[in-house]
Amino acid sequence: MKKIILAAAVAALGVPAALSTSVWAAEHIEIPKEEWSFNGVLGKFDRQQLQRGFQVYKDVCSACHGLRYIAFRHFEALGYSEEQVKTLAAQYEVDDGPDENGDMFKRKAKASDYMPKPFPNDATARLANGGALPPDLSLMTKAREGGPDYVYHLLLGYEEPPADVQLMEGLSYNKYFAGHQIAMTKQLQDGLVTFADGAPNDAAHIAKDVTAFLHWAAEPNLEVRHSTGLRVTLYALLFAVLAYFTKRRIWAKLGDH
């Protein structure tokens, strides 16, 4: 049934035969697993990595992709001071108003403001990207199956298309994207950014850093959740042990009668 629905969707969209073949293959794309500092119940974010990832987002991704659920004040969680956050916010302009004349106006952003969108509306975004609408990245690692592993490998998954695949105009071949034809061109390459802490800046490390940052953006409370979950588990285990010995004591007394 799943294949029938997929075939109907392909036909309805008028997808070429070459792309149709890729869509079938996309059903079984295997996303390799990566090691992340935030994995597991004791997982935590690496603040230095998050700052490097934010630099990549700001220098490379933010021209097309927004972070609408992230306010500037949230960046204090990355290790930035209150003054650094204020300085960062002041580099952006946001819409405000209306003023006393009923007009909207621009002003420098404050720490309490949310990250401004790269485009004023979806129509402008599509016009600037050949008809494609760049998705907001706030929840990207939670919205895609495979999570951060998928985002990481997608960024590095650009290849020359196989001989039997005909790319649609304006699309690039990516072995980890469903259908393998993606509107976003290859964004990362070795040496694209230089990190102040001297960290490696080959494409693989850049992709790892920006993916970690995007996962923080999607789950800024991950560490609190892990900590709470661990405490609840420990309390539950302690209660279970106490309940067990209490039960034994009660039944031991009843047995004496």
Q: What is the CA radius of gyration of the chain?
A: 25
Strands of the chain (E only): list them.
Answer: 93-96, 105-108, 172-173, 181-182
Are 57 and 213 in contact by the 8 Å Cβ rule? The answer is yes
Q: Environment class of residue 73 by beta-carbon count within 10 Å: exposed (0-12), middle (13-18) or buried (19+)?
A: middle
Are 148 and 34 in contact by the 8 Å Cβ rule? The answer is yes
Mean pLDDT of the chain: 86
| pLDDT at residue 123 is higher than 60 | yes
- Reported residue count of the chain is 257
Q: What integer is the mean pLDDT of 29-43? A: 92
Torsion angle (degrees, nearest 10) of CA 150, 68, 37, 55: 100
- The string over 79-105, giving b where at least 16 C-beta atoms fall within 10 Å of a residue's C-beta and e elsewhere, is ebeeeebbebbeeeebeeeeeeeeeee
| pLDDT at residue 217 is higher than 50 | yes
Q: Which pair of tokens denotes residue 94?
A: 């946001």
Identify the bridge partners of residue 107 per DSSP, sorted by sequence position: 94
pLDDT > 90 in the chain, percent: 70
| pLDDT at residue 86 is higher than 80 | yes
Tens of pLDDT along 180-209?
A: 999 999 999 999 999 999 999 999 999 999
- The model's pTM is 0.79
| pLDDT at residue 106 is higher than 90 | yes
Phi-psi region of 160 (alpha: psi -120 to 50; beta: other; left: phi over 0): beta
Please give the residue that has the higher pLDDT: either 98 or 190.
Answer: 190
What is the C-alpha to C-alpha distance for residues 132 and 64, in angstroms, rounded to an integer? 11
Are 29 and 176 in contact by the 8 Å Cβ rule? The answer is yes
Measured over all CA atoms, what is the biggest interatomic distance in the chain, rounded to whole angstroms?
89
Residue 25 binned pLDDT confidence (cut-offs 50, 70, 90) = very low
Query: What pLDDT does 49 receive?
Result: 98
Tens of pLDDT along 125-146?
A: 999 999 999 999 999 999 999 9
Query: What pLDDT does 248 receive?
Result: 74
Query: What pLDDT does 228 receive?
Result: 63
> Which residue type, as a one-letter code, is found at position 177?
F
H-helix segments, 67-135:
82-89, 122-128
Query: What pLDDT does 136 receive?
Result: 97
